[in-house]
Structure 1
Amino acid sequence: MASGDSFVSRDSRRTELREFLRSRRARVSPADVGMPAGGRRRTPGLRREEVAVLAGVGVSWYTWLEQGRDIKVSEEVLDAIARALLLGAAERAHLYRLAGLNAPERSARPSVAPSPEVQRLLDSWSPRPGYVRDRHWNFTAVNDAARVVFGYGENDHNCLVSFFTNVRYRVLHCHWAEAAPDVAAAFRADAARYPDDGEFERIAGDLAAVSPEFAELWERHDAAEHTNAVKAVDHPEAGTLVFDATLLPLPEHPGHHLILHNPRPGTDTQQRVEALMRQPSLVVPHPGQADTAHDADAPAESLP
C-alpha cells in the first residue's frame, strides 16, 4: 500500500508540475523578457522553445519536464527556469516542491520592523508577554507585558545580551543557571544558519568580553534548537508566574521570530499576570527588591 500511495503521490505531483509550468508560461509575453513577438501566436505567452532558450536548456528536455516525465532536475536548472518564467519567491519554492526537491530557504533580512498585522497581534496578546526578535536576536518589538513581567528596560536591545547582562532579568527568573547553556547553544545554532554573517561573532565576542559565564558556555561549541520552553518568573509584585513560551517563525520576514508566552495550565499565572497589568502605575523594581528565586517545579528554560 505504501508503494502504491507513493506512486499516486508522485504521479499527482507530475500532473501539477505540468499544469503549473504551462500556466506560468502562458502569462509571460515575449516583450516581458525582451524577446521579439515572432509573428502571430496561437496561444498567449511564451513558446516552449523560447523558455528553453531563456533557461539555457534543451528544447526536448524542457518539453519532457513540462510533460511531467520522470527526468532528473537540478537546483541550477530550476532556478534558470524560474528566472525565465519570472517566478516570484513563493512560486519558485512551489516549483522546487513539484519537482521533488527541497524548496530553497528565503534569504533572511538582518532586521525589519514587524508588519502591522504582527504588531496588532503582539499588542492584543497583552496581558501575556510577547516580543519579536530578528535573526541576530535583536528585539524589533516588545509588548508592555514582557517589559513588566521579565524586567526588560530601555537598554535592552538584544535578547541574548539581556539574558546574560540584565541583572533584573536574571534575578526574576527561577531557572536562569539551568537555562543559560541552552540559550548559548541556541544562538550558536542560529549563527550556523548564516556562516557568512559576521554579526553573530561580533555579538558573541562583545558579550564574552563582559560576561565570563557566556564566554565559558560559548567555548563549549554546543548547538541546540528549541521552539518551546517553560519560563518561570518570581515577580516581586505578582509572585511566581509560569509560562509556556513558543517561538514562531515569521515567513514574511525570514529569520525573524515571534515569541509568545502563555500562562501554564494548572497554575494561577493567568490571574496573577492580569492583576499585575491592571495596576495603574507599573514600576519595574530594583533588583534588590526582588525575592531570591526559589525552586519552582517547572522545567528549565531554553528560550531567553
Structure 2
Amino acid sequence: MMNFSGRDDRTPTYMESGMVSGEGVVEFLHSWDGVAATLIDRHLNVSGSSRLAEALFPSLRMGTNLAREMFLEVIPRRAYASAEDLSYQVVAALHASLAWHEDDAEFEKIVGELSAMSRAFSTAWAADRQQLRPHGVLQATHQSAGELTIRYQLLELAGGSNAILIVWRGADPESEHALKQLVLAS
C-alpha cells in the first residue's frame, strides 16, 4: 500500500476481515449515484469509476493510466488551473508506490515512456520528491459544468489490494450544485 502519513502500513490481521479490498469496491462504484469516485491500482491504472466520476473526468475510463493521461496531454492541462500541482501529485503517487513495492516491468515501462515523451514528467520525476497529499483541492473547467472547485480524498484500501479510492466532491456550493447537475445529466 501507499504510505501517506509515515505510519506502519501493516494492518493487523484481526482488522482485515472487516475491511474492503479493491476488488470489492469495483462492483459498488456504478451504484454510487451522486458520488464521484475512481479506483486506481499501484501503477495508477483506473480499475473502475462511478458514473459521476466518468461524467466529471471522461478520460478516466477503465484501464486508463493516470500518469499517462496527465503527462501525455490527454487530460487537457488547460482544463486545470492547478495542473502543475496536480502533475506533481501524480508523480508523488508513483514515487510512493515505487517506494513501497518492488520495481517491476510495468513501472519501468510507465516511467521510461513518460520520461522519453514528456519534458514535464522528466522535470517532475527528477525534482525533489514531494509528499503525496491524501487530500486537496483542484480547480477545473468542465466542458458542460463550467468552472469547478473540487475537493479530493485518497483512501487506501485494505487487504493488500494496493488500491486507492479517489473520492471527489464540490468544495463550494456552486461546485456541489454543478456536480448534482452532472448526476442528473449522466
Identity between Structure 1 and Structure 2 (%):
25
Relative to structure 1, the CA distance from residue 157 to residue 129 in structure 2 (aligned partners, 3 Å threshold; closer, same or farther) is: same
Which of the residues 151, 154, 159 maps onto 1:252? Answer: 159
Relative to structure 1, the CA distance from residue 258 to residue 204 in structure 2 (aligned partners, 3 Å threshold; closer, same or farther) is: same
Matched, 1:234 2:141: yes
Residues 66-88 of structure 1 deviation map (CA, whole Å, 9 limit, x = unaligned): xxxxxxxxxxxxxxxxxxxxxxx
* Whole-angstrom distance in 1 between the partners of 2:63 and 2:26: 19
Matches within 5 A, 1:95-174: 114-115=23-24, 118-152=25-59, 157-174=64-81
Determine helix, strand or coil for the equivalent of 1:191. Answer: helix
Matches within 5 A, 1:1-304: 90=13, 114-115=23-24, 118-152=25-59, 157-220=64-127, 222-264=129-171, 266-279=172-185
Residues 36-62 of structure 1 deviation map (CA, whole Å, 9 limit, x = unaligned): xxxxxxxxxxxxxxxxxxxxxxxxxxx
Amino acid aligned to 2:52 = A
Q: Is the 8 A contact 1:151 1:169 kept in 2?
A: no
- Name the larger-Rg structure: 1
Q: How many angstroms does 1:261 deviate by?
A: 0.7
Relative to structure 1, the CA distance from residue 147 to residue 166 in structure 2 (aligned partners, 3 Å threshold; closer, same or farther) is: farther
Q: How many angstroms does 1:182 deviate by?
A: 3.1
**Comparing both structures, which one devotes a greater share of its residues to helix?**
1
CA RMSD of aligned residues (A): 2.7
Q: How many angstroms does 1:253 deviate by?
A: 4.2
Relative to structure 1, the CA distance from residue 153 to residue 139 in structure 2 (aligned partners, 3 Å threshold; closer, same or farther) is: closer
Unmatched segments (≥5 aa) in structure 2? 1-11
**How many residues are aligned here?**
171
Q: How many angstroms does 1:255 deviate by?
A: 0.9
Q: Is the 8 A contact 1:228 1:245 kept in 2?
A: yes
Q: How many angstroms does 1:168 deviate by?
A: 4.0
Unmatched segments (≥5 aa) in structure 1? 1-88, 94-111, 283-304
**Comparing both structures, which one devotes a greater share of its residues to strand?**
2
* Whole-angstrom distance in 1 between the partners of 2:169 and 2:48: 18
> What TM-score do you get using the length of structure 2 for normalisation?
0.77
Relative to structure 1, the CA distance from residue 239 to residue 123 in structure 2 (aligned partners, 3 Å threshold; closer, same or farther) is: same
Q: Is the 8 A contact 1:150 1:172 kept in 2?
A: no
* Whole-angstrom distance in 2 between the partners of 1:191 and 1:165: 21
* Whole-angstrom distance in 2 between the partners of 1:114 and 1:173: 30
* Whole-angstrom distance in 1 between the partners of 2:76 and 2:113: 19
Determine helix, strand or coil for the equivalent of 2:132. Answer: coil
Amino acid aligned to 2:42 = R
* Corresponding residue of 1:298: none
* Whole-angstrom distance in 2 between the partners of 1:254 and 1:156: 16
Q: Is the 8 A contact 1:137 1:158 kept in 2?
A: yes
Determine helix, strand or coil for the equivalent of 1:183. Answer: helix
Relative to structure 1, the CA distance from residue 157 to residue 221 in structure 2 (aligned partners, 3 Å threshold; closer, same or farther) is: same
